[in-house]
Amino acid sequence: MKLLEGKKALVFGVANDRSIAWGIAKAFHEHGANVGLSYAGGALEKRVRPLAEEINSQFLEICDVGNDEEIAGVAEKAKKHFGEIDILVHSIAFANRDELKGNYYDTSREGFHLAMDVSVYSFTALASAFQPIISRGGSLMTMTYHGSQKAVPSYNVMGVAKAALESSVRYLARDFGPDKIRVNAISAGAIRTLAAAGVSGVRSMISRFAELSPLRENVTADDVGNAAVFLASDLSRRITGEILYVDSGFNILGIASDDEGSK
């Protein structure tokens, strides 16, 4: 059964074949969606173009989400190509590497502004630019992480940004609700992606994740893709403003001890 047959989707944030955005794009394609892709910079094109070809994507556009003119340009191109879109995915986050180690209180003003702009405001900017062409009953979604709710070593300003992003989801859900457009977020467990590589100690975090999470399994981009299909489909038509955890249950733990890992 293909849950997204006839749907048109645009996925922002594909960087390579290990991206969460790619896991989502693949799952959408497998469920019958016509998928367009967007990537952040020219250096990524050689990685992303073969992926677009793999899912027969006819819409591939570069977009700096820190630039309102580029966002408007991609929205106009999407209107000409798709007419309307049913699904928009924001899988974008960035902070300077120096802000993702050491103490949070050492975050620079410039670094704080950059993380909030790229990781948070860009979702609002995309939602605003694409609002005229999102179909009634459509779905918007973004990616977050449990560091928004709990202090995670070295996640620092990105944790603060993800908390703001989750708040944005709730306000956008209220705004888009009258048009029956849903806005949700997926909070994925630690996955070894290009973005995660910038967080100090992430390898150790991922290796411990499978030992401590209730399901004793790491999470993959394909797992997130499957959850995204649900949020994009009519199966979730009464769900909006929510954070869906795809983390093998890690978020439910009050404390993760070595004894738990040995069970």
Torsion angle of the four alpha carbons 99, 105, 108, 112, in this order, in degrees rounded to the nearest 10 = 70
Most confident of 42-46, 183-187, 204-208: 183-187
227 falls in which pLDDT band (50, 70, 90)?
Answer: very high
Give the Cα separation of 158 and 162 in Å (integer): 6
DSSP state at residue 249: T
Torsion angle of the four alpha carbons 91, 34, 83, 184, in this order, in degrees rounded to the nearest 10 = -40
Domain 8-261: which CATH number of 3.40.50.720, 3.30.2020.10, 1.20.990.10, 1.10.645.10? 3.40.50.720
pLDDT score, position 257:
56
DSSP state at residue 94: -
Res. 262: pLDDT tops 50? no
DSSP state at residue 89: E
pLDDT score, position 201:
55
7-16, 56-65, 190-199: lowest mean pLDDT where? Answer: 190-199
Averaged pLDDT, 5-19: 96
pLDDT score, position 210:
79
Q: What percent of the chain has pLDDT over 70?
A: 90
The residues with which 243 forms a beta bridge, in sequence order, are: 185
Q: What is the maximal distance between C-alpha atoms in the chain?
A: 57
- Helix, strand, coil shares, percent, the chain, to 5: 50, 15, 35
CA distances from 210 to 18, 23, 243 (A): 19, 20, 22
Show the tokens assigned to 169.
């989801």
Res. 38: pLDDT tops 90? yes
**Domain ranges (residues) in the chain:** 8-261
Catalytic residue set: 145, 155
Is residue 11 within 8 Å of 89, Cβ to Cβ? yes
Instruction: Count CB atoms within 10 A of the CB of residue 209.
Output: 20
Using one digit for the tens of pLDDT, what is the confidence trace for 111-135? 999 999 999 999 999 999 999 999 9
